Amino acid sequence: MFELSQTFTFDAAHTLKRQVSPEEAAGSRRIHGHTYTAEVIVAGDRQPDSGMVVDLAVLREVIAGIRSQLDHHFLDEVAGLGAPTLENLCVFIYAQARQALPQVAAVSVSRAAGDRCTYRPRA
**Residue 46 has what pLDDT?**
95
pTM of the model: 0.90
Distance CA 73, CA 106 (A): 23
The predicted-structure confidence for 58-109, as pLDDT tens digits, reads as follows 999 999 999 999 999 999 999 999 999 999 999 999 999 999 999 999 999 9
Ordered by where they begin, the domains of the chain are 2-119 (3.30.479.10)
What's the pLDDT band for 113 if we cut at 50, 70, 90?
Answer: confident
3-state secondary structure string across 3-20: EEEEEEEEEEEECCCCCC
Report the Cα–Cα distance between both ends of the chain, in Å, rounded. 15
- pLDDT at 29 > cutoff 80: no
